[in-house]
C-alpha cells in the first residue's frame, strides 16, 4: 500500500514538474516577445480594460504613467445627438517623446454597450499603430478594411433634434406600510456648433401610506418642472444664453415659480479644448415670479423678485489626475443678505507610483430660502422630509486612498469568478 502511494505521488510530482518546465519555457518565449512591445498606460474610467487587453495583446499594459512609453487619456462629454463624444489624447514618452495625437469618436444614442465598446477599442488600435510600427512587433500586425465600404450622402431628417423619454415607477408594500414613487422626464435638444437648445420636463411623485389598526395616514410629496436653456456661440471664448424655468413643488412651497435669467459666459481656454481643460466665468441677472401654497415666513403669498448670480467652473484632466471644481453664488436685489454661496467638485490625483487619492464633495452657505412656509412643521413633515426646512448651510463629501504595488506589467486576462 505504501509503495503504491509512493508511486502515485512520484507520478503526480513528476507531472507537475514537467508541466511547470514547459510552462516556464512558454513564459520565457512570451516574455522575450513582450520585451520589445510598447509600454502602454490607459487613463479611462469607463473602459472595459479586460476586453481591451484581449483585443490588443501586442502591448505591455503598465500600472504607472512613468513606466509608459505611450500615455492615453480618454475623456467624454455629451454630444448633441444624445450620445457621447470620446476624445483620445495620445502622449508619447521616452523614445516617443513629442509623438502626440488626438482622436475623437461619437457614439449614437441607440447603440448598445458592446457596439460602443468595440468601436472605442478599434479607434484605440488605430491610434496605437504609429507607435507599434516602431517596435519589433510591427510584423505581427495585419491591417484590413471593410471591402463593402461605400461612399454615400447622409441626410439628417431630424435636423439635429433629439428627444429622450424616461419613466421610472417604483413601489414597496408591507402589511403596515406602502410607498409609491413615480419619476417621468422628457428631454428635447438641438445642438449645433453655433446654437444650443435644451428643454427638460420632469415630474416626480412620492406617496407614503401608514396602515395601523385605528389609523390610516397618507403623505404625498410632488413636483413638476420645465427647464429651458438657449445658448448662442460668440466665438471660441464667449457665449450668451438665457435660462427660463417653470416649476411647482410641495417640498419647496412653490405653487408656481418662474425664473428668467439671461447670462454671459467667458471661457479662458477655447471651447474646442473643453474635454481637457476649462475655466469658465458666467454672470447671470434676471427676475423670479413666485406664488406659494402657504404663506411664507415673510407673510407673502406671491411676489416678484430680481436677482443676480455668478459661477466659476474649472476643469482639467491630465495624466497626473483630474480636477473639476465649481464656485457659485447669488443674491436677491431687494435684500442683499438673502444670498447663497457654495463650492463643489471632484479631485483625483496620482501622488506617486501606485498611490492615488480622490475626494469629492461640496459645501454651501444658505440664506435665501424666502419660500419657506410660515409656522411650525409637524413631526411627520420633518421626519419624512415632506417640506423644506430652514438651514444655514449644506455640506457633503467623501474620498478614497488607493495604493497598488507589485509587477508593473498587467497583461493577463482571467475573468473566472468575476462579479
Give the pLDDT of residue 112: 76
State how far the Cα of 136 lies from the Cα of 126, in Å rounded to an integer: 18
Between 310 and 149, residue with greater pLDDT: 310
State how far the Cα of 319 lies from the Cα of 71, in Å rounded to an integer: 8
| Torsion, CA 294, CA 295, CA 297, CA 303, rounded to 10 | 110
Which residues are 258's β-sheet partners? 246, 289
Instruction: Of 11-20, 156-165, 253-262, give the range with the top mean pLDDT.
Output: 253-262
Q: Residue 16: pLDDT above 70? A: no
State how far the Cα of 233 lies from the Cα of 238, in Å rounded to an integer: 7
**Among 147-156, 225-234, 235-244, where is mean pLDDT lowest?**
147-156
What the block records as the C-alpha cell of 401 is 486612498
Helix, strand, coil distribution of the chain in percent, nearest 5: 20, 50, 30
Band (21; pLDDT cuts 50, 70, 90): very low
Instruction: Cell 471632484: give the residue.
Output: 346
Instruction: Cell 411623485: give the residue.
Output: 205
Give the pLDDT of residue 5: 57
Q: Residue 42: pLDDT above 50? A: yes
Which residues are 223's β-sheet partners? 204, 249
State how far the Cα of 255 lies from the Cα of 293, in Å rounded to an integer: 5
Sign of CA dihedral 408, 412, 416, 419: positive
Q: Residue 409: pLDDT above 70? A: no
State how far the Cα of 91 lies from the Cα of 101, in Å rounded to an integer: 7
Q: Which fold has domain 36-139?
A: Immunoglobulin-like (2.60.40)
Residues 6+ apart with CB under 8 A from 352: none
DSSP string, 85-126: EEEEEEEE-GGGTT-EEEEEEE--TT--HHHHHHHHHHHHHH
Average pLDDT over residues 340-358: 83
Angle at 365 between CA 338 and CA 398, to 5 degrees: 155
What is the residue-averaged pLDDT of the chain? 82
State how far the Cα of 198 lies from the Cα of 190, in Å rounded to an integer: 7
State how far the Cα of 356 lies from the Cα of 41, in Å rounded to an integer: 15
Provide the 3-class DSSP secondary structure of residue 410: coil
Every domain of the chain and the residues it spans: 36-139, 234-403
Query: With b meaning 16 or more CB within 10 Å and e meaning fewer, what string describes 70-83?
Result: bbbbbbbeebbbbb
pLDDT tens-digit readout, 75-107: 888 877 777 888 899 999 988 998 998 888 888
Q: What are phi and psi of 359, to 5 degrees?
A: -150, 145
Q: Residue 28: pLDDT above 50? A: no
What the block records as the C-alpha cell of 300 is 407673502
Give the pLDDT of residue 26: 44
Find the distance separating the first CA and the last CA of the chain, reported in whole Å.
45
- Residue 46 · residue 69 · CB < 8 Å: no
State how far the Cα of 145 lies from the Cα of 139, in Å rounded to an integer: 18
Provide the 3-class DSSP secondary structure of residue 33: helix
Average pLDDT over residues 242-256: 94
Amino acid at each position: 500500500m505504501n509503495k503504491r502511494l509512493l508511486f502515485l505521488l512520484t507520478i503526480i510530482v513528476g507531472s507537475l514538474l514537467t508541466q511547470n518546465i514547459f510552462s516556464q519555457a512558454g513564459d520565457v518565449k512570451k516574455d522575450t516577445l513582450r520585451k520589445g512591445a510598447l509600454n502602454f498606460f490607459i487613463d479611462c474610467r469607463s473602459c472595459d480594460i479586460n476586453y481591451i487587453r484581449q483585443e490588443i495583446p501586442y502591448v505591455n499594459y503598465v500600472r504607472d504613467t512613468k513606466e509608459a512609453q505611450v500615455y492615453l487619456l480618454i475623456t467624454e462629454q455629451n454630444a448633441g445627438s444624445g450620445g457621447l463624444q470620446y476624445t483620445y489624447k495620445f502622449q508619447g514618452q521616452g523614445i516617443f517623446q513629442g509623438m502626440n495625437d488626438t482622436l475623437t469618436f461619437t457614439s449614437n444614442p441607440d447603440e448598445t454597450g458592446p457596439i460602443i465598446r468595440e468601436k472605442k477599442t478599434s479607434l484605440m488600435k488605430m491610434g496605437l499603430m504609429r507607435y507599434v510600427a516602431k517596435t519589433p512587433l510591427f510584423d505581427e500586425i495585419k491591417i484590413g478594411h471593410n471591402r463593402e465600404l461605400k461612399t454615400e450622402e447622409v441626410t439628417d431628417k431630424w435636423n439635429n433634434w433629439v428627444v429622450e423619454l424616461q419613466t421610472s415607477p417604483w413601489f414597496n408594500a408591507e402589511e403596515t406600510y406602502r410607498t409609491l414613487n413615480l419619476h417621468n422626464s422628457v428631454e428635447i435638444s438641438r445642438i449645433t456648433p453655433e446654437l444650443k437648445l435644451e428643454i427638460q420636463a420632469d415630474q416626480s411623485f412620492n406617496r407614503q401610506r401608514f396602515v395601523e389598526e385605528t389609523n390610516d395616514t397618507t403623505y404625498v410629496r410632488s413636483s413638476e418642472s420645465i427647464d429651458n436653456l438657449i445658448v448662442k456661440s460668440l466665438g471660441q471664448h464667449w457665449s450668451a444664453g438665457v435660462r427660463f424655468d417653470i416649476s411647482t413643488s410641495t417640498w419647496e412651497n412653490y405653487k408656481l415659480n418662474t425664473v428668467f435669467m439671461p447670462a454671459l459666459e467667458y471661457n479662458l481656454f477655447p471651447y474646442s479644448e473643453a474635454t481637457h481643460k476649462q475655466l469658465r466665468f458666467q454672470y447671470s441677472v434676471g427676475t423670479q415670479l413666485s406664488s406659494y401654497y402657504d404663506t411664507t415666513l415673510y407673510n407673502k403669498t406671491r411676489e416678484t423678485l430680481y436677482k443676480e448670480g455668478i459661477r466659476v467652473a474649472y476643469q482639467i484632466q491630465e495624466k497626473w489626475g483630474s480636477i473639476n471644481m465649481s464656485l457659485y453664488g447669488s443674491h436677491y436685489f431687494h435684500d442683499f443678505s438673502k444670498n447663497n454661496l457654495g463650492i463643489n467638485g471632484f479631485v483625483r490625483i496620482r501622488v506617486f507610483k501606485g498611490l492615488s487619492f480622490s475626494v469629492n464633495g461640496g459645501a454651501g452657505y444658505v440664506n435665501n430660502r424666502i419660500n419657506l412656509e410660515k409656522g411650525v412643521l409637524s413631526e411627520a413633515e420633518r421626519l419624512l422630509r415632506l417640506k423644506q426646512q430652514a438651514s444655514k448651510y449644506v455640506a457633503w463629501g467623501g474620498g478614497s486612498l488607493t495604493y497598488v504595488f507589485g509587477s508593473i506589467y498587467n497583461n493577463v486576462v482571467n475573468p473566472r469568478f468575476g462579479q
